[in-house]
């Protein structure tokens, strides 16, 4: 009983695993029992042709490759299949034909796309509590409020009555001891009032709303 020249290689992407069994043949490649032109989804089908196009059909003309793939999603399976096919061609040439030519084939694959020969170790980082993803954190969201600044207001003795509150100071008439009499709209901003010995307002500390 004669032995058949054959090699077996693996391709992985995330949780998808593809096992390629290459043996002497006529250049047939089948994925889970189906030819390449029936691989789904069609938009990713050409990714499987990349190792064949890069190495040339001549390097696959004497090899039959049967691939079994399972696990993962559609994209991960496609990338696992193309890696298994590329590694199968290199391994078969390395073992049964020309080792130096196999090294040149491997180099051409690596130069084009490293994942055609070498598995990608990247994995999705697990989600943590306190946020919507692995690194994202929940942001505090509140209604827009004006920033508050505290100004030390020095009241000057004025001869006229005014009840206007400006951004920097609040004008109070000379000798007044009741701030709410002249500026009722500003009473809610007052946080401290200082009087002199005669009961006249000399310092007022108020909170000013500043919109930035």
SS3 of 122-151: CCCCCCCCCCCCCCCCCCCCCCCCCEEEEE
pLDDT at site 5: 87
Chain centroid to CA 21: how far? 37
Nearest of 19, 15, 32, 11 to residue 79 by alpha carbon:
11
CA angle, 40 then 41 then 45, to 5°: 80
Could you tell me the pTM of the whole model? 0.62
Cis upstream peptide for 98 (omega within 30°):
no
Higher pLDDT, 78 or 41: 78
Residues forming beta bridges with residue 101, ordered by sequence position: none
Residue 75 and residue 30: Cα distance in Å, rounded?
18
Condensed to tens digits (0 to 9), the pLDDT of residues 8-36 reads 999 999 999 999 999 999 999 999 999 99
Report the share of the chain in percent with pLDDT over 90: 49
Q: At what angle do helices 74-96 and 45-55 cross, to 10 degrees?
A: 20
Band of pLDDT at residue 165, cut at 50, 70 and 90: very low
Q: For residues 152-156, give the mean pLDDT.
A: 38
Condensed to tens digits (0 to 9), the pLDDT of residues 181-210 reads 434 444 455 555 666 666 665 555 555 444
């Amino acid at each position: 009983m004669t032995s058949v020249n054959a090699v077996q290689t693996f391709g992985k992407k995330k949780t998808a695993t593809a096992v390629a069994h290459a043996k002497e043949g006529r250049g047939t490649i089948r994925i889970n029992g189906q030819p390449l032109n029936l691989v789904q989804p069609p938009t990713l089908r050409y990714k499987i042709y990349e190792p064949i196009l890069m190495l040339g059909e001549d390097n696959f003309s004497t090899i039959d490759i049967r691939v079994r793939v399972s696990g993962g999603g559609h994209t991960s399976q496609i990338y696992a299949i193309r890696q298994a096919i590329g590694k199968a061609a290199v391994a078969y040439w390395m073992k049964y034909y020309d080792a130096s030519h196999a090294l040149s084939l491997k180099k051409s694959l690596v130069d084009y796309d490293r994942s055609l020969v070498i598995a990608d170790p990247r994995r999705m980082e697990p989600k943590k509590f306190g946020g919507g993803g692995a690194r994202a954190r929940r942001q505090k969201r509140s209604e827009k409020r004006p920033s508050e600044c505290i100004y030390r207001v020095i009241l000057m003795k004025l001869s006229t009555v005014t009840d206007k509150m400006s951004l920097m100071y609040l004008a109070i008439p000379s000798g007044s001891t009741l701030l709410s009499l002249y500026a009722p709209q500003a009473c809610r901003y007052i946080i401290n009032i200082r009087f002199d010995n005669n009961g006249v307002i000399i310092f007022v500390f108020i909170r000013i709303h500043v919109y930035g």
